[in-house]
Chains A and B, each alone.
Chain A
Amino acid sequence: MRKNIVITGAGIVSAIGCSKGEVTRSLLERRTGIGEMQYLESVHHELPVGEVKMSSEEMKRRLGIDAAKEVSRTVLMGMMAVEQALKEARVERKDGRRILLVSGTTVGGMDLTERYYGSFFESDEHLDCMKTHDCGSSTQQIAERFRLFDDSTTLSTACSSSANALMLGARLIETGQADIVVAGGTEALTRFHLNGFNALMILDRQQCRPFDATRAGLNLGEGAAYVVLESETAARERGAEIQAWFSGSGNACDAFHQTASSDNGEGACLAMKEALESAGLSPKDIDYVNAHGTGTPNNDLSEGVALQRVFGTEMPPVSSTKSFTGHATSASGSIETVICLLAMQQGFIPANLGWQHPIEGGITPTLGQEGCRLRHIMCNSFGFGGNDTSLILSAEAPLGRKETVANEERTVEVAARVEITDEAALTEIKNYVKPMEARRLGRILKSALLSSLKALEEAGVETPDAIITATSLGCLENSVQLLNQLRDEGEQGLKPTWFMQSTHNTIGSAVAIHTGCHGYNATYTHGEDSLKWALADAEMLIRSGRARSVLVGLHDETTPEFCDIMSRLGKRDLKPLHSIAMVLTCGE
Chain B
Amino acid sequence: MTNTIVQQPKQVSLLQRKKAVLICLCCVFFFVALYIAGAMMGDTGLRTDFLHRNLPPSLDYPFGTDWLGRDLLTRTVKGLCISIQIGMLAAMCSAVLAGLLGVAAATFGGKVDTVITGMIDVVMSTPHLVMLILISFAMGGGVQGVVVAVALTHWTRLARILRAEVMQLKNADYLQLSTRLGKSKLWIARNHILPHLLPQFVIGLILLFPHAILHSAGLSFLGFGLTPHNPSIGILLSESMQQLSTGHWWLAVIPGVCLICMVKVFDILGNTLRYLSDPQTSQQ
Are A and B physically bound partners?
A: no
Instruction: Point out residues on A near B: beta carbons under 8 Å.
Output: none
Instruction: Point out residues on B near A: beta carbons under 8 Å.
Output: none
